[in-house]
Amino acid sequence: MISKTQLISRCLESGRSATPQRMSIIDELGSASKNLSAYELRDLLNDKGYSFNISTIYRVLDFWIDIGVVHKMDSSNTYLVCNDSHTHHFHVLLHCTSCKSVQESCQLSEQLSLPNSNKFAVNDSQAVEINGVCNKCQ
């Protein structure tokens, strides 16, 4: 996970602040050993004494997605922290359908080429999911 200083810099670069809510939610998500749903994240934080409602969790997750710090796994409706510090990038998320682990591949994304790339600008912080079975589960 990127450092707190980098997180705060990303917030400031986006013209927004690093609020205590934003920081506590990203800290919890970053310390998780797996990708989490918004409800799992809320329950973990509430167990630690926070009292976030689910709309706050979703709003903060959307904020971190917008500035390229968090990826959403659409197939499982879960979230994970981006494992590199690039601000403009395209990621391939390798999702194991057996153990539910996710590996982020920046190298694989660099190998992908888009047709007519000079006529098509990819939005920042894109992620593509590829489902399969990881080495541990094979």
Could you give phi then psi for residue 70, rounded to 5 degrees?
A: -125, 145
134 is in an annotated binding site: yes
137 is in an annotated binding site: yes
8: which 2 tokens? 């705060």
11 is in an annotated binding site: no
Here the contacts of 57-60 (C-beta below 8 Å, separation 24 or greater) are 57/25, 60/21, 60/22, 60/25, 60/26
Written as one string, the DSSP assignment of 76-89 is TTEEEE-SS--SS-
Q: What's the rounded Cα separation, in Å, for the pair 53 and 17? A: 20
Contact 73, 93 (CB under 8 A): yes
3-state secondary structure of 35: coil
Known binding-site residue numbers: 96, 134, 137
Known binding-site residue numbers for Zn(2+): 96, 134, 137
